[in-house]
Structure formats: C-alpha cells, structure tokens
Amino acid sequence: MGQKEAKRAFCEWCHSRCRVVVHSEDGRLTEIEEDPSFPLVDNIFPPTRACLRLRGASEFMYHPDRVDFPLKRAGEKGEGKWQRISWEQAFDEIAAKLGQIREQYGAEAVASIHGTRRTHAEFSIRFMHLFGSPNYVGNGMICSAPDGVSGMMMFGWRPRYAVSMRFEKDAATGKPETQCIVCSGENPAHSYFRIWKGMRDVKAAGGKIITVDPRRTEAAELADIWLQIRPGTDAALFLAMINVIINEGLYDKDFVEKWCHGFDQLAERVREYTPENMAGITWLSADQIREAVKMYTSNRPATILTMGEGLEQQQYCIQALHARFILSALMGLVDAKGGDYLPGPANFITEADIELPDMLSPEQKAKQLGTHRFKLASWPGRTLINEGTRRVWGKDGGRARVMSQAHAPTMYRAILTGEPYPVKAAITVAANPMVTQGNTKLVYKALKSLDMYVVCDHWLTPTAELADYVLPVTTWLERPYLSSGGAHDNYIVAGEQALPSTITGEYDRRHDFDIARELAIRLGQGEHWPWTTLEEAFDYQLSPRGMTFKEFMDKGGFEFPPKEFKKHERQGFGTPTGKVELYSTILEKLGYDPLPYYKETFENPVTAPEVAEEYPLMLITGGRFVPMYHSEHRQIDSCRRRRPDPLVQINPKTAAEFDIGSGDWVWIETKRGRIRMKCQLFDGIDPRVVHAEHGWWFPELPGEEPWLHGVWESNVNVLTEDDPEVCNPVQGGWPLRTALCKVYKVKSY
Ligand SMILES: Nc1nc2c(c(=O)[nH]1)N[C@H]1C(S)=C(S)[C@@H](COP(=O)(O)OP(=O)(O)OC[C@H]3O[C@@H](n4cnc5c(=O)[nH]c(N)nc54)[C@H](O)[C@@H]3O)O[C@H]1N2
Ligand SMILES: Nc1nc2c(c(=O)[nH]1)N[C@H]1C(S)=C(S)[C@@H](COP(=O)(O)OP(=O)(O)OC[C@H]3O[C@@H](n4cnc5c(=O)[nH]c(N)nc54)[C@H](O)[C@@H]3O)O[C@H]1N2
Ligand code: SF4
Ligand SMILES: [Mo]
C-alpha cells in the first residue's frame, strides 16, 4: 500500500483563490477536491470541483513538456538547444555574472520581469532591493497599479470590497451587503468567479447591476442597464455621472463636507461634462447616462467593481479610475458597508515588508527607469502615498507590483539603446513577456540582446526560448502558501505544500523563493536571508502573532477579521490632507492635473483619421475566457480541447462587409503587424469594434527560431503599441485596449 496524504493547498492558477484538498499517494497527485474547512468554499461560481484547470492538474504536474531540471543554452540564443545542468552550477554561474555586471555597469543594469500574481514574488523583489536595482518591471503597471494607486492617492488605502476574496454577505443577515453593482470593463463570469457569484447573488436578492462594456458579455446579460460604451471613453462617462450627481444634489452632503477635499474644484471641472456633451463621445445617449445615475444613486449602498481591465488598460486609465473613485466618495460609500471597504494591513509581516523597500537607496530609486516621467506608480508617488498610509495604518499600503515598478516600455528601450544607461541582464519570474507585454517585436529584440537572460518557469515558453538559463519552478501544488491579498488587505490565508518538489530521477523543481535566496547568498545578502525554507520565512512573517506557520495551519490556516467601517471617524484618511482627495494633492505635487479629465486616445478615427483610412476598426484585446489563463494552459490537452483556436469577435455586419464568414481564419492587422485568428461572429459587439483574445502561442510548434512556438502567429501583442508617448501620462500604463485595425480573410491556411 502506498503512502496516502491529504493536504490543504492554495490554488494559484487564477485570482479566484480557492483552497483545496489535494490527495496524493507516494507523492503522486491522485485527486483534488474542495476544502470544506475554508470559510469561502461556497462563495464561488462555478464550484471548485467544476474547475477545468484543476481537472487538468495531473496533466500539468507530469506533462512531458515540463522543464524538470535546470537548463543552460547550448547553441545560439533561440536555437532551441539546451544542456541539463545542476542547480549549483546554475546558481554559481548566474550569481557570478550578475556580480560582474553590477561591478561594470552598476546594479541598475540588472532587471527583473514579473507577471501577474502567481508566486511569492515578494522575495524576488527583496533580492532586487538588496542587490541595489530599482529596475523590476511587469504587468502590474497595466493590472492593479492603475486601480491601486488611484485608490491609494484618494483614500489613503486601497479599497478592497469588490475583489475576489471580499465578496461577502452581511454577517448578520446573510444577504448581499450591496444593493447595486457597477461592473465596468470587467467580465467576472470568466475572470473572477467569486465576484461573479456575488453579482448573481445581488441580482437574485433584488439588487441592480449596471454593466459598462463594448461587448455584450455575461455581465452585460445579467445587467439591468448595459452601457455599450465606445472603447477608451469611460472617463467621459464617469465625469458625466459626477456632473449629474453634483447638479442634481444627489451626493452625500454630510460626508462630502466633512471628509472630502476639493469639492468646489471638482464641481468646476465637471461643469462641461454634461451627459449631452459626453453622449456622442461615449456612443451612449444622455438619457442612458442619466438612467445609470438614477439606478446607481437610488440603490444604496452601491459599489463599482475594481480591477476591471477594460478600465486599467485604457490610455487614460488613471483619469477614468480617479473619476470612478470620486463616485464612491460623493455617495459617502468609502469605508462603508457595501461600498469601498478599506481594511488596512494584516497583523503580520506583509508582502510589502518582506520586499524591504527602504533598503534601496534614494540614489538607486532615482535611477528607476521611467520614474522621472511616470511618477505616480513609481518612487515619487509611492513615497508620497506611503507617508499617509504609514501615518494612519502603520504600514505601506501595497508592494512593488502596484506601487513602484520601473516602466517596462522604457526598460525594453534602454536594453536596446543603452539610454539613459545600459541594462545588460534580466531575470524573469512568472511572466511570459513575449506574449503578454505590449509590442512583442520590441520585447523580442530587447530580450535577445541581453548579455544574460534567466527565465524561471514551468515550461519552455516563447520567452524562455530566448533565455540563457531556464530554471524549473514549483507550482502551488508543490509549495506552501501565505498571503494577505498582496499587502492590501487584513485577512491572512495559507495553504500547505501538497506534493514533493523533487522526485529523484524524475524532476527537481525549486520554489521561486529558493532561487532568489540562493542568488542572494552568493551575492552577499546572507544576513537578510536567515530562513532556509519558505516555511521558515512564513514563521518569520507570522512571528508578530506569536505563532509558526504550522500552528497557523493547525488553527485552520486563515483569518478573516470582522469588518469595521468608518474608521476615518477615528483616524482620518491616510492621505496628505487626512481626507478623501477628490482633488489630489499628490498628483498636484507630482506636477500633474489634480483632477480627472477626458481625453481622446492616441489611435482612433477622431485622433488619427489618416490611420483610420486604412485601419477603420477599433481593436480591443484580451477579454478573458475559461479555461485559459493568460498564456497558460495551452499545452494542457483537457483545456485546449475546449478552446483549440484563438478567436476574434466581429459583428456580422462588419464581417459581411469584409467577406468574412463564421469560423474563417482572418488576418487582424494594425500599423504594427498582423496576426491571424478564427472569426467568431458576434452581434453583441459594435460593428465598429473588433475584439481579439490575448495570450496565444502554440506549445506544439517548434521552439527554435523562427517559430518560437508560433509566437508570431496569433499573439495579439504583435498589434499593440507601447511607445512611452502614448502611455498614461501620469502612471505609464500602456494602452492594450485601443488601436485601429483592419480584418480580412486568410486566403489559404
Ligand atoms: N493585449 C493584451 N495583453 C495583456 C492583457 C490584455 O488584456 N491584453 N492582459 C494583461 C494582464 S492584466 C496581465 S496580468 C498580464 C499577464 O502576464 P503574465 O503574468 O506574463 O502571464 P502569463 O503569460 O500567463 O505568464 C506567466 C508565466 O509564468 C509561469 N508561471 C506560472 N506560475 C509560476 C510560478 O509559480 N513561478 C514561476 N516562476 N513561473 C510561473 C507560467 O508558466 C507562464 O509562462 O498580461 C497582460 N497582457
Ligand atoms: N479565465 C481567465 N481569468 C482571468 C485571467 C485570464 O487570463 N483568464 N486573468 C486574470 C487577470 S491577471 C486579470 S487582470 C483579470 C481581468 O479580468 P477582467 O477585468 O474581467 O478583464 P477582461 O475580460 O480582459 O476585460 C473585461 C472587459 O473589458 C471590456 N472592455 C474593453 N475595452 C473597454 C473599454 O474601453 N471600456 C470598458 N468599460 N470596457 C472595455 C472587454 O470587452 C471585456 O469584456 O482576469 C483574471 N482572471
Ligand atoms: S484555477 Fe480553479 S481552483 Fe484554482 S483558484 Fe481558479 S477557480 Fe479556484
Ligand atoms: Mo492582470
């Protein structure tokens, strides 16, 4: 009889954040089921047991394509020739090269590249801060940072109500806390299953849903009002809503008077933003805008979902989100039940603390690429925001991923040009920039020209194929877990390591933590890495609570403190003025417009009529779809069978105009390149707009150049623009949801 085990592990294959029970026999995965001991087990739709990614877990664990041992490039870069080496050799060689580059060019010549939340990247950032480099980049800047820093600068903490772990019901009544949800630029039916369940619960309890989306998504179908907005114009819509709320006196006068800074300036600003003036811009009618205001203001409390990528990935994301947060403030729904809840930090050593932001010297911070131009989500903005959060909450309100990343487009250009200084090496941790970063052609040239490129991943992705070293990492199944919502929240959740990371002769995978630590020790950071294992690091994180990781797990492995609202009445807000800053003194200090505004995006028929002559359609990208997660799961057969091909959604009228039929392969072309996808006729998209999925590569195609697993075939970021000139002027986010394109049938395929 084999040795059977059951462990409570925390799944990181999407942001829905489930804890599950993982069964194994002799260290081999046998089954995964829901964890009934986890308090939010029923709070998800569909239930965990129906999760397609989980069902493919055995395929994932034992897939023949998994990178199981460290690899070193054996041929030219991109030639697809690899040599297996030992972990010791990998660590020794990589550390030696990093040390040499620091010696020759300075620490800032070493970069790290991160993806969305998947692993304990806080330890990789700790390594970077201690190494002395401010140049860690990643998709945080177009995912989380726009939302996070906008909330922080206005409220002095990031609102956490409408996020995946927080969609709770009222503890006393068992009913949804909120009466109305505005779902803007988000489709939780595919992206956040807990929010999706929450929306359905609100609707079932008689609440209202307003969905703002250029496409008729599941969230739009659920809605009482669907606003089919013109892409990139949400700031105009929100400003018009603010205009109505102020003009009709619908706001919470008491809260605004006592707790909001800059109401008069705001009222002045929105004067021109009438529904009538904004109607044409947004493709909505003035009546629709007024109706939405009526529904939003008369169903209290109401909440507007956060983290909608339709908002975060617009060129003027900060301006749109600033206006969005103003709506909550005007309604007095900040730190209020059913509105924007401000939890404050958890009582432990958070992810932000682990990163040791203060160990990076001011001189090195000032060298961060992009920091002089895009100040809000890098050190100048973070420093101002931290003053308030530290004063009121005693801690930083977020970590590097949200608060202080270097600007990726600027960094890729620095690699290529040596300006403003050389960047010579990079380590990628849980990211696939060849597929997910904007402007793939530039990313490709940059990554290829590095002196040393290290990729930590499970697979030989198109990105990994360009590396000098590929380091095989564990998944959530093979490592323990501890988190507090990325340092923004006060709950703590944990999970056990369910499966061994090494089976002799079969595989030898390491945690991202181990990789950071081994390099750190070789580079003289030993005193800051006293823990030999991730569990020991977790013991340290839990030490303020006087318990070890094991003791925390024994007690259930979670803590959700009861919610306390209206804390500002006791402590004020963690902003420079101690109030909600409708008029942001932080933006003002940084030299930007302190109030939100609407501006046309860089590439649309209004701003670029000459481009529109050849490329008449507006392209939006990246709408989420189950079961894929970004560029992941393409090699997992059970997932791929569900979604074998990349899809582009085109309105039947438009398709007819260009002689395209359902299921045809079509070229999608922008000024920057062309890719092909399969046409899905969809009458729920405006005829002037086309939607193309993101994340596509083909693991089954050859890895060596020129194929790179088909990265040039259907990867939508071949089409997107990342020029710093068109990035958000305040924060630097690159516009993934705005471009002009044309579509035409692929003649032979
Ligand atoms: N055009 C367009 N582009 C987009 C988007 C869009 O909507 N449109 N969305 C953007 C958004 S919001 C995001 S967040 C990004 C996501 O961008 P990325 O985070 O780069 O997403 P993935 O492509 O899935 O890359 C993650 C890689 O990490 C590996 N990985 C998974 N788990 C681990 C782990 O624990 N450790 C390590 N070391 N590796 C691991 C996976 O195998 C995969 O290769 O994409 C962005 N790109
Ligand atoms: N299945 C799956 N789930 C995921 C992910 C995944 O890759 N796959 N990724 C995870 C990550 S990292 C993220 S950030 C989230 C993102 O999750 P969501 O925020 O739900 O992201 P999307 O589905 O990309 O975009 C939401 C909607 O924005 C709309 N949209 C496009 N342009 C505009 C616009 O200008 N205005 C408005 N109002 N709407 C617009 C699109 O039509 C789309 O329906 O999903 C997470 N969950
Ligand atoms: S992949 Fe499935 S099990 Fe894992 S967190 Fe997402 S929904 Fe939950
Ligand atoms: Mo994201």
Give 456's strand partners. 429, 471
Separation of CA 631 and ligand 1 centre (Å): 6
Confidence (pLDDT) at 513: 98
For ligand 3, say whether the CB of 256 is within 6 Å of any of its atoms.
no
**Average pLDDT of the residues in 20-26:** 98
Closest residue by CA, ligand 1 atom 28: 430
Confidence (pLDDT) at 351: 94
User: For residue 617, is pLDDT > 80?
Assistant: yes
* Each residue's pLDDT tens digit, 98-121: 999 999 999 999 999 999 989 999
Separation of CA 117 and ligand 1 centre (Å): 8
Confidence (pLDDT) at 486: 79
Confidence of residue 397 (pLDDT cuts 50, 70, 90): confident
Q: How many CB atoms lie within 10 A of CB 234?
A: 27
* Each residue's pLDDT tens digit, 469-492: 999 999 999 999 999 887 889 999
* Each residue's pLDDT tens digit, 48-76: 989 999 999 999 999 999 999 999 999 99
For ligand 1, say whether the CB of 143 is within 6 Å of any of its atoms.
yes
Sheet arrangement for strand 302-304: 225-227, 208-212, 180-184, 302-304
* Each residue's pLDDT tens digit, 555-583: 999 999 888 999 999 999 999 999 999 99
Site to probe by mutation for ligand 2, drawn from 143, 241, 624 as the one with most ligand atoms within 8 Å of Cβ, is 624
The mean of the pLDDT values for the chain is 96
pTM of the model: 0.98
Confidence (pLDDT) at 749: 59
Element (H or E) spanning 618, and its range?
Answer: strand 617-621
* Sign for the pseudo-dihedral over CA of 569, 572, 578, 582: negative
| Ligand nearest the Cα atom of residue 14 | 3
For ligand 1, say whether the CB of 720 is within 6 Å of any of its atoms.
yes
Identity of residue 569:
E
For ligand 2, say whether the CB of 215 is within 6 Å of any of its atoms.
yes
Q: How many CB atoms lie within 10 A of CB 358?
A: 11
CA distance 457 to 430: 6
User: For residue 168, is pLDDT > 80?
Assistant: no
Give 19's strand partners. 10
CA distance 49 to 700: 28
Whole-number Cα distances in Å, 483 to 352, 354, 490, 558: 11, 11, 10, 10
| Ligand nearest the Cα atom of residue 628 | 2
User: For residue 514, is pLDDT > 90?
Assistant: yes
| Ligand nearest the Cα atom of residue 138 | 1
CA distance 429 to 474: 12
Separation of CA 164 and ligand 2 centre (Å): 14
User: For residue 204, is pLDDT > 70?
Assistant: yes
Closest residue by CA, ligand 3 atom 8: 18
* Each residue's pLDDT tens digit, 270-293: 999 999 999 999 999 999 999 999
For ligand 1, say whether the CB of 510 is within 6 Å of any of its atoms.
no
Element (H or E) spanning 226, and its range?
Answer: strand 225-227
For ligand 1, say whether the CB of 423 is within 6 Å of any of its atoms.
no
Separation of CA 625 and ligand 4 centre (Å): 13
- Picking from 34, 19, 31, the residue whose alpha carbon sits closest to that of residue 55 is 31
Q: Which atom of ligand 1 is nearest to the CA of 142?
A: 12
**Average pLDDT of the residues in 406-429:** 98
Site to probe by mutation for ligand 2, drawn from 191, 196, 401, 643 as the one with most ligand atoms within 8 Å of Cβ, is 191
Burial of 168 (0-12, 13-18, 19+ CB in 10 A): middle
Which of 247-256, 300-309, 389-398 has the largest mean confidence?
247-256
Classify residue 248 by its DSSP letter: T
User: For residue 748, is pLDDT > 90?
Assistant: no
CA distance 54 to 46: 12
Cα–Cα–Cα angle for 347, 164, 630, rounded to 5 degrees: 115
For ligand 3, say whether the CB of 13 is within 6 Å of any of its atoms.
yes
Confidence (pLDDT) at 172: 81
For ligand 3, say whether the CB of 14 is within 6 Å of any of its atoms.
yes
Percent of the chain with pLDDT over 70: 99
Burial of 474 (0-12, 13-18, 19+ CB in 10 A): buried
Q: Which atom of ligand 3 is nearest to the CA of 32?
A: 3
How many residues comprise the chain? 749
- Picking from 129, 336, 142, 208, the residue whose alpha carbon sits closest to that of residue 738 is 142
